[in-house]
Amino acid sequence: MRPRTVFQRRVTEANNRLKPLPEAQEKWVQRKIASHFSFRTKGHINVCSECGARLEIHDTRKRIYSEKQVFSTLETVDDLQVQRIYMLHSGYRRGYKAEHEAVEIIRRWYDGDGNFAVEARYRERSFYVDVFRYSTTIELKKDCDVYRTLVDSYVAAGAKILPYFRKRGVKGRFPNVSPDKLFNGLVTDPRIETLLKSGKIKDLAYFLDHMTELGKLWDSYKIAMRNGYCISDISLWADLVQALAYCGRDIHNAHYICPDNLKEAHDYWTKRKAQAVEKERGRKELERAMKREADFIRLKSKFFDLTISDGTIDIVVLDSIRAFKEEGETMHHCVFSNSYYDRPNSLVMSARIKGKRIETIELSLTDMKILQSRAVCNGTSEYHDRIINLLNSNLHQIARRNTV
């Protein structure tokens, strides 16, 4: 891709002043991220693949083994920050010294004004992210998920940081913090600088991965910090605060957001939130269903006053959308959620003893056959056969009304 902006032209020119990866830095990376092992053969003889390193023992008949690892370096060129991403190829052959080769695949450029550019080698179309054609040159590219995935890699020692970012707290590399997200965050959101300078690196890493939550939680987070609260697990704490907000609690009150037992409070309020979500979902579902009640009444009202009884068991017709919802919630089945009220050729009834629901019955109005009769959780009650016999012996009452 040809450079189109002033920043892209600066990047293209800066490429000429980049230096190859220093041999000492490459060897340091090899010791840190490459595998170090010896082959243990069938005869229990250990064959070392790399001397001077702590080794893992591999019981294998393989003579050749290879792997790929991704790492990056942080460098500066003039007034530009660049993260250079490398693919480290490691080859192991029994009886020979391990071989390693680092190939640069991506460059990501930044400045203090929020400008950004990505360069990379040509990449084959594939489900795999590491299929670069190494014979091609590194050129300007459009950013994509593959590049964003690979950029979140191990950062080698010896990082050089642009003065703009050093002033905002970046002194070098940080474990578990993506440089790409950190640089972009520092340019776009001053709260990232506050987190960085506070030394809360785990909290920083979480919010860099959840920038939309930072705005929602920032005031609560500041209150927790002012109260000297130690957040042992930032993700649990974030879930807790959002659950409190959903349940209508004051998330600016230290009583709620600084619990003595974070996990216990998290579990309690997330359960309360789940219950509230389910209640709200049920309310919206009922609102949608009520729009069908006029049609339901028009089709089934002729059965509403019908009761079939043997003196103990009463079989009554569900005569409203709310009746379907209550039946489904009480019996823990899908008579409401699956919209049985919307079936024109079915009549749904409830078998009860002294008002207690025993089974829910679906009857076909087309051929007057019982399609199903379900107890709690779609089970079968001890009265099942009696219910079936009672309804079958009174089908003529339903058939007579069905002809009206």
* Domain ranges within the chain, ordered by starting residue: 6-160, 234-285, 293-402
Tens digit of each residue's pLDDT (9 = 90 or more) over 342-364: 999 999 999 999 999 999 999 99
Longest Cα separation, the chain: 96
pTM greater than 0.85 (yes/no): no
pLDDT of residue 42: 58
First and final C-alpha spacing in the chain: 76
Give the whole-angstrom CA distance, residue 217 versus residue 297: 48
Query: Does the pLDDT value for residue 59 go beyond 70?
Result: no
Residue 373: pLDDT band with limits 50, 70, 90:
very high
Give the whole-angstrom CA distance, residue 376 versus residue 13: 74
For residues 375-398, average pLDDT: 94
Tokens of 25: 């830095």
For residues 175-183, average pLDDT: 85
Helix, strand, coil abundance in the chain, percent, nearest 5: 40, 25, 35
For residues 43-71, average pLDDT: 64
Give the whole-angstrom CA distance, residue 21 versus residue 299: 79
Tens digit of each residue's pLDDT (9 = 90 or more) over 126-152: 777 778 998 999 999 999 888 888 888
Q: What is the topology classification, in CATH, of domain 293-402? A: Aminopeptidase (3.40.630)
Tens digit of each residue's pLDDT (9 = 90 or more) over 294-334: 999 999 999 999 999 999 999 999 999 999 999 999 999 99
Tens digit of each residue's pLDDT (9 = 90 or more) over 180-197: 899 999 999 999 999 999
Q: Which of 102, 84, 87 is nearest to 23 (CA)?
A: 102
The chain-wide mean pLDDT, for the chain, equals 88
Tell the residue number behind the tokens 């991220």, with chain if given.
33
Give the whole-angstrom CA distance, residue 267 versus residue 2: 54
pLDDT of residue 87: 92
